[in-house]
Structure 1
């Protein structure tokens, strides 16, 4: 970058995905592990070289797995999937075959990964997005074999830095904390990217889709606005002071808003937390969660050769039920398949697009013993507690699936059975489905990607991966109105619920509860508390009348004057 490019106040623009303002030195993540020499040959001891490669792959897999366990939440799911890639038997066989031909272990790893990489890239779509995961595993393995520093970012720092990258590997960011990172800025990604989800879970500002970000020189002072998407280089003292004053004022407003979620005129909107297991409970309770709106139970099942025992499941579930005496705990049953394969089940038949294959409730119907064991463990875990257990199935598309799951819950002794609205067919026929179950919970991440035919892992279509799309708002309204007409609840547990502005719109659409990452709870509580139910309904109608996501958000903003106090 030329000196002229770093003049005081130079502004880059992206998409704000986690609100707040932060200031710190830029730490760009650039470059990869260099490609190993293609002409190098090992010393002739193929067995020793194979062992070396095998140990390196296992070391990387174990490290990814350990990072996931330590991080918990979404990171554990993502890193577990990467660990399974590193342990893929087909990949190990390919590496071994190349070594037997005289190729060194580092080059064999590089070439074997290239073969798989090319296959995924050619497939495109969801599978194509797994290329970056393979690259990360490859580079880590080659680093182990060659003694090069492991790719990654500092997990300690003299002062919090602004992490800048083209994109961020989950393994690099899983163990970061607010003490280390002030903000994230990436050139790629959208509102539901791994970076966005991680930033919201940490409660740090983040901007994605910021063109030119990786050209920021290391150490450049950067001011990041995670709401507007502005990234200002070498800001003036006045700009820094203004941003900090605004952030302090905003934090004061947040801390002053306490108690159960409600609109300004007293319409109750329970605010719940999304969790991945007992380790997430402290943060949820500290943020004032009124219960759990999404307990992702798949973390108990991933990255293991055998299914968790009934006792292990029961213990994990009971810890969550006991944390919210008298409160709601909405449990999502095993959501596996697609990017979350289970090692203890046979692989599915060839699925050109796994996101459209056997996942969620479809997998349950194929393996009813797995479902019966989980539902039984849930029923035993809630017995003796005062929590209100509500159990829901993911990826339900038809009335038949909904009725089948509800009957399975009743058979297990669970009194409240619901389904997730993630498939457009379920939203369109919500009036039929609500008759078979006790509640709905809308997963806006999947609903958006299926409604817009835009894989949420593909940055090239990130503009479509936006729950503000009017078509998505229409589908949410259909589900919410069907539940209301039946006298039943309809919550939202997707990332949309964490957006303070969109939260008001969702309530205006008829949504009865909101569940989100714990750091977002104060923001949403404050936004709702500054608007009446009628204002939320007016904002929702204005958003639905728009013809684009940006216009929908702008229209809603115009009807929500109380947002000014939050400086969003």
Structure 2
């Protein structure tokens, strides 16, 4: 028996035989082409188009966040800059396979050097390149194996196209050697309720056919487990199935303290599933899907229709919409497409919107119009707020546009440190734990190389969350959590103990979090929070909370 550590997604467990994902295709030969450049160009364009169509089709079948990711990959396959580079290389006598490989590799290296959001997209380029080269070569693209029996998939990392369409009747669990807690693999695994461990560097030594336990709750992969360990895993799987079948009730602590459980959504099409899974409203509606990959911003009428569809799905319930969160890391021609050396610290969020106020005014106008047509309780918030002045700017503009409830995201340490003054200038705060963690720990949340520093369990992050919670209580204003931290069942209890008044997460996590909250009173949640705050690091904080939870269970 051997234990391998990584980052668990959720708190479920799975076990079974391992099947490893095949290695990538070999690098294409550098031999000169026997065809003229025109014929090679025709081959390359046909394969690029075929792969783009295939990726878009996978996105339609997958839906949800996966569709957005795969649509972005499909656009990579037809990117004009890449095609121009490929054609130039073909003119130098290269084969279509070699030209595609070199052009994608050059662009990948460029993005990797930029870091941040664009750096993490480098892996997506590798996947598209492999698929195009495979199509040109007439062979199957590397992908998820199909051994004909249920298995645990072990891979260096998974491309979004593969993660999106995993056969959940066959794939019992997923272990990746690379990746971090906010990589595409982790995000899609969470959305699809796949038992997963990411960033398990030592999993490279697991062989095909070996039995493993994938224990997401404990951040462990157990290689060659004992009979006792397998029996425990079976019991936890049975307990989880019973939990999933339990009646859906509003989120609350054991003493009756209400904790509304809300959904994070990126598209109005996902609203029905969120309601089915027990979402009491929406804590974060990302509006970027309306704006990305466009030359001009969508008009008010187009936006209004999308917002109306969303609000209509939640009559009488709270729906929190975040205005456009874009900038240099997600460049938009009509907002800000200037190159920045460090886009994570550049013109993004509310900063970018102030530079293009017409875009923000149009979005607020569309939201107010949709609100007037529906019966939901619309709240609107600004992203990446760092100052009181920015808070006042957004709140004033929202009021002027007819928005009744206006708040801010707390994603920067500065906003958390002066939360008492920020909350005095708006109606509510919503803590984005993903960005708050990366800025507090100075560790890019999209880079697996610093994944060990990206944990919201770190006491430095928890202390900032506690400061915001205290400020909310002092002002009598709500403080929600809409980062991925809310989907961790035990951390959710700690967050409530720190002062969070609602939790928003991927809909697939609602059942686990609801059950976890119901085990503790508010006083017990505060005790767990105090224990975590008193620790020296993220691992110690999580263990302190686990020890406290075990003590309560045994009392």
- Normalising by the smaller structure, the TM-score range is over 0.9
1:246: which partner in 2?
236
Find the partner of 2:396 among 394, 402, 407: 407
Contact preservation (8 Å) 1:23, 1:240: yes
2:330: which partner in 1?
340
2:283: which partner in 1?
293
Change (3 A) 1:32 1:162: same
1:338 offset after TM fit, Å? 4.3
- What is the count of residue pairs matched by the alignment? 554
* 1:254-290 Cα shifts (integer Å, max 9, x gaps): 5446411111111111110111122222321122111
Q: Give runs of aligned pairs for residues 144-543 of structure 1, distance below 5 A.
A: 144-153=135-144, 158-235=148-225, 239-253=229-243, 255-256=245-246, 258-342=248-332, 344-345=333-334, 348-543=337-532
Contact preservation (8 Å) 1:126, 1:353: no
Find the partner of 2:23 among 31, 38, 42: 31
Alignment partner of 2:375: what SS? coil
Contact preservation (8 Å) 1:127, 1:353: no
1:102: which partner in 2?
93
Q: Structure 2: which 5+ residue stretches go unaligned?
A: none
1:4: which partner in 2?
none
Change (3 A) 1:391 1:177: farther
* 1:368-397 Cα shifts (integer Å, max 9, x gaps): 222222222222222232210011111111
2:48: which partner in 1?
57
1:302 offset after TM fit, Å? 2.3
Within 2, Cα distance between the matches of 1:300 and 1:177? 30
1:482 offset after TM fit, Å? 1.4
TM-score, normalised to structure 2, is 0.93
**Is 397-406 or 46-55 further displaced after alignment?**
46-55
1:472 offset after TM fit, Å? 0.5
2:132: which partner in 1?
141
Change (3 A) 1:315 1:370: same
Confirm or deny that 1:86 pairs with 2:80: no
Alignment partner of 2:373: what SS? coil
Alignment partner of 1:212: what SS? helix
**Is 243-252 or 120-129 further displaced after alignment?**
120-129
Within 1, Cα distance between the matches of 2:103 and 2:195? 38
Confirm or deny that 1:559 pairs with 2:544: no
1:315 offset after TM fit, Å? 2.4
Find the partner of 1:545 among 514, 528, 534: 534
Alignment partner of 2:330: what SS? coil
Change (3 A) 1:261 1:124: closer
1:453 offset after TM fit, Å? 0.7
Find the partner of 2:10 among 2, 18, 22: 18
Contact preservation (8 Å) 2:336, 2:352: no
Change (3 A) 1:254 1:534: farther
1:459 offset after TM fit, Å? 1.3
Contact preservation (8 Å) 1:314, 1:378: yes
Change (3 A) 1:65 1:480: farther
Within 2, Cα distance between the matches of 1:359 and 1:70? 32
Contact preservation (8 Å) 1:18, 1:207: no
Two-structure CA RMSD over aligned residues (Å): 2.4
Contact preservation (8 Å) 1:397, 1:426: yes
TM-score, normalised to structure 1, is 0.91
Alignment partner of 1:559: what SS? helix
1:563 offset after TM fit, Å? 7.7
**Is 68-77 or 17-26 further displaced after alignment?**
68-77
Contact preservation (8 Å) 1:80, 1:303: no
Within 1, Cα distance between the matches of 2:14 and 2:279? 25
Find the partner of 1:47 among 29, 32, 38: 38
Contact preservation (8 Å) 1:29, 1:153: yes
Within 2, Cα distance between the matches of 1:306 and 1:52? 33
Alignment partner of 1:178: what SS? coil
* 1:348-383 Cα shifts (integer Å, max 9, x gaps): 222112222222222222222222222222222222
Contact preservation (8 Å) 1:338, 1:354: yes
Alignment partner of 1:456: what SS? coil
Contact preservation (8 Å) 2:77, 2:128: yes
1:441 offset after TM fit, Å? 0.5
Contact preservation (8 Å) 1:77, 1:302: no
Within 2, Cα distance between the matches of 1:19 and 1:353? 34
1:57 offset after TM fit, Å? 2.6
